[in-house]
Structure 1
Amino acid sequence: MSDRLKLFRRLISAFEGTSNPQRAVERGFYVNLPDNPVGVITGKIALRPSSVHLLFGGIGSGKTTQLLLTQEALNELEDIKAIYVDISLFTDISELQSGALIAIAGLELIKILQGYNTSELNDSKRIFERLLYGNSEIVTYHQQRLAQGIGAIESILKTGNSQSFTTTETRENRSSVLQAFIKTSTFVNEKLAKQVVFLFDSLDRLRESKTFVKPVLDDVIEINKHGLGAILVGSIVALYTERVNIAKNTENFYFLPYLDILEDDESRQFFSEIFNVRDPEKLINQEARELLISHSGGVLRDLMSLSQAAIEEAYMDGSDLIMEQHANQAIAAIERSKTIGLADLSIDILVSVMTEKSFSPRTSEDFELMLTGHILEYGYPRQRFAVHPILVPLIENTRRIKRRVNR
């Protein structure tokens, strides 16, 4: 393997946006977010472990990283057991049902009780799994030829009768799940000399904000009734449309905005420091860095994606450095991906945001553009909305075309 390939592999790994934040800390890559509300949440949970906290923010704003670092900080306390849970690994977020979070929390509690194998715990586990996955049964069917059953979890391949596992839609009801959870949590409270705190992630992907209140918040409040703390993330859409209902359930909710690199010096310095710690050799030159920062829109995930794309462009170009032209090529590629599927109405909204310099989200189309990161909300030094900078050329071109048509 050439030294150049090793160098580029190391560099592209440094800008891996989905890597474990603990690994980033160990490699010296982690940089503290400015005005980070998670430090406040961590302190309040440490003081009152059985409290409930909600963290809202756009996709790619760094919520998962903050949750995992919060878990690490809380687990350093001798009397707290913080459990990070990615809800999407258990169930389809778009089809989240009442009792799902209770069942997931119950399964996580049973995991930490592995030394206790009681019939009651086993019964509870089956109830939790039936709510999340339904009932599994063996079905025998006849095949005329050798083939594998589509969708089968396991099948016996033979001519004639074949067998496979199938999942029915018969699921547990919330009441039986709750009773099983009460038994499980009571057992945990008796056996574990620590306060359990759940950190629920991926709920910011919910398209229907009402689902965040019912069933998500209903489930979390029920979990909390039995002495367990919780931090959960939610989308900015839920905060806008369900603020009154959210406030009824808890006063502890926070917003993690994108970083306003246009108006805030500290945010620009934060992004510059990311390059300093991940690319100390300065293989990405200053002009390329500035381009990548400005086109990220203050979205951490987008900065990582753009940087990796620029590194790939430089490697394929045969260059030893990532230059301005490589950053521009990466920007063009990401721009194409962000414009795919944009309807005329969405483009009209983006044009309006860019020309009128104001935005008050009300419609489902407005919220969808916020959820997908086409429209970015900043909270500091002032609240404002902006079209993602990578989309600006598209919007400007659309404006020019409309002006010609209207002449």
Structure 2
Amino acid sequence: MSAFEGTSNPQRAVERGFYVNLPNNPVAVITAKIALRPSSAHLLFGGIGSGKTTQLLLTQQALNELEDIKAIYVDVSLVTDISDLKSGALIVIAGLELLKILGDIEESKLKSCKKIIENAAYGYNEIKILPSLSESLNASSAIFRAISSSREIVTNHKGLLSTEKQENKDLVLRAFSALYKATQEKIGRKIIFLFDGLDRLSDSQVFIDATLNDIVEIKNAGGGSVLVGSVVTIYKKRENITSFDSSSYYLSYLDVFESVEVQDFFADVIKVRDVENLINPDVRQFLTFKSGGVLRDLMSLCQASIEEAYMDGSDKITEKHANQAALSLARSKIIGLTESNVNILRQVLTGENFFPRTSEDFEMLLTGHILEYRHPRQRFVVHPILAPIIENMVASVANG
């Protein structure tokens, strides 16, 4: 059953041979462009569960097969609080990765750079010795002479990975540049950073202000970057993304209803994991359609179906088990929806023209309640797992 864990580390799936080549995957294009220009920047946008992490890991794998490139993968969400991401955080995170490669540092200048990066990352205490009160007030009375000793003030400076700290940014940039140069000389390769987890940023402006500025500084030091972004950012900040010196890619959900190629792909995704043939072709097709083309949801549905079969004492997954799994996932997705959210879903379901404009529209896209397909044509649909529930609501309203 672990083969169908939807939220497990995609690296394990790749290592275990579960990866099936994604239609229109961007790995080859990104790898080729970085091979030509190692200090370039690449932005990969898409919905949660669309397969971006897997594509990043495969890109890392492909880049590391090149003789002159070292690709480093980092999940930013595991290192710092994404919701409070600050400008400079990616530089510091990249600097920490360089320190891992450098290991023990003997040179005094690089030791200083190491301390700067670590202080910027984790914070530090600064101790200041202030003159005694009697000296400060130039007093001669006995009461002030009694407190004539110097005073020690301790100031705690939080790091960039916890809160904003900007006054030493130039110092951090110089330290990072020196560490990058030293690392490149040590391993004889250009270094590319692949930043994952940034698609969880709900504030698109933070993505522009914090991450893109850091990418520019990494590029100035000679490094390249690939980072993921939210589906919302590509809509809200299209002008910023277009004007930024980078290559952009959009990994949309896969249209399981209008593309035979996608249907075959999803069948292969299940087949390569279902070595015991527990899921027959009809149930595979049912699960594929219910997933809506969201890879993570497909994994969750398969796992839940297996659990249902186990509880039922069956050694095969039947349509009954798949239906129960679909109902369970639908309930989890319907929780927390407001009346306004439901109205938006009704509009999309009944065929009204939809294009994301409002914050609630974007919320529906971000959470995957509304899915965007771009191949073979662009269209928006209510997630198939929710469609029957919304249809019942529409029918109830129509019947008064």
The answer to whether TM tops 0.5 is yes
Q: What SS is found at the alignment partner of 1:198?
A: strand
Q: Which residue of 1 aligns with 2:353?
A: 358
CA distance in 1, matches of 2:225, 2:295: 25
The answer as to whether partners of 2:354 and 2:380 remain within 8 angstroms in 1 is yes
User: What is the CA-CA distance between 1:221 and the residue it aligns to?
Assistant: 0.9
The answer as to whether partners of 1:287 and 1:323 remain within 8 angstroms in 2 is no
The answer as to whether partners of 1:258 and 1:377 remain within 8 angstroms in 2 is yes
Alignment-mate amino acid for residue 299 of structure 2: M
The answer as to whether partners of 2:40 and 2:246 remain within 8 angstroms in 1 is no
Q: Which residue of 2 aligns with 1:6?
A: none
CA distance in 1, matches of 2:165, 2:339: 44
Q: What SS is found at the alignment partner of 2:264?
A: helix
Whether 2:56 is the aligned partner of 1:61: answer no
CA distance in 2, matches of 1:120, 1:19: 41
Q: What SS is found at the alignment partner of 1:24?
A: helix
Higher gyration radius (CA): 2
Q: Which residue of 2 aligns with 1:391?
A: 386
Change (3 A) 1:395 1:68: same
CA distance in 2, matches of 1:68, 1:221: 22
Q: Which residue of 1 aligns with 2:334?
A: 339
User: What is the CA-CA distance between 1:288 and the residue it aligns to?
Assistant: 1.9
User: What is the CA-CA distance between 1:21 and the residue it aligns to?
Assistant: 4.0
Q: What SS is found at the alignment partner of 1:14?
A: helix
Q: What SS is found at the alignment partner of 2:385?
A: helix
User: What is the CA-CA distance between 1:20 and the residue it aligns to?
Assistant: 4.2
Whether 2:201 is the aligned partner of 1:212: answer no
Q: Which residue of 2 aligns with 1:85?
A: 74
Cα deviation digits, residues 13-35 of structure 1 (max 9, x gap): 12123444444344332100011
CA distance in 1, matches of 2:324, 2:61: 38
Q: Which runs of 5+ in 1 are unaligned?
A: 1-11, 138-165
User: What is the CA-CA distance between 1:377 and the residue it aligns to?
Assistant: 0.6
CA distance in 2, matches of 1:247, 1:300: 28
User: What is the CA-CA distance between 1:234 and the residue it aligns to?
Assistant: 0.4
User: What is the CA-CA distance between 1:129 and the residue it aligns to?
Assistant: 3.5
Q: Which runs of 5+ in 2 are unaligned?
A: 127-154
Q: What SS is found at the alignment partner of 1:35?
A: coil
User: What is the CA-CA distance between 1:110 and the residue it aligns to?
Assistant: 1.0
User: What is the CA-CA distance between 1:73 and the residue it aligns to?
Assistant: 1.0
CA distance in 2, matches of 1:136, 1:292: 55
The answer as to whether partners of 1:90 and 1:132 remain within 8 angstroms in 2 is no
Whether 2:306 is the aligned partner of 1:317: answer no
Output aligned runs, 1:80-229, within 5 Å.
80-135=69-124, 169=158, 172-173=165-166, 174-229=169-224
Alignment-mate amino acid for residue 84 of structure 2: E
CA distance in 1, matches of 2:158, 2:68: 40
Alignment-mate amino acid for residue 75 of structure 1: N
Cα deviation digits, residues 69-108 of structure 1 (max 9, x gap): 1111111112110000110121100000011011111111
Q: Which residue of 2 aligns with 1:326?
A: 321
Q: What SS is found at the alignment partner of 2:250?
A: strand
Cα deviation digits, residues 252-295 of structure 1 (max 9, x gap): 10101110000011000000111221113311122321221111
Output aligned runs, 1:269-308, within 5 Å.
269-308=264-303
User: TM-score scaled by structure 1?
Assistant: 0.86
User: What is the CA-CA distance between 1:116 and the residue it aligns to?
Assistant: 3.0
The answer as to whether partners of 1:98 and 1:219 remain within 8 angstroms in 2 is yes
Q: How many pairs were matched up?
A: 367
Whether 2:34 is the aligned partner of 1:45: answer yes
Change (3 A) 1:187 1:208: same
Q: Which residue of 2 aligns with 1:237?
A: 232
Runs of 4 or more, structure 1, over 6 Å off, are none
CA distance in 1, matches of 2:53, 2:273: 20
| Identity within the alignment, % | 60
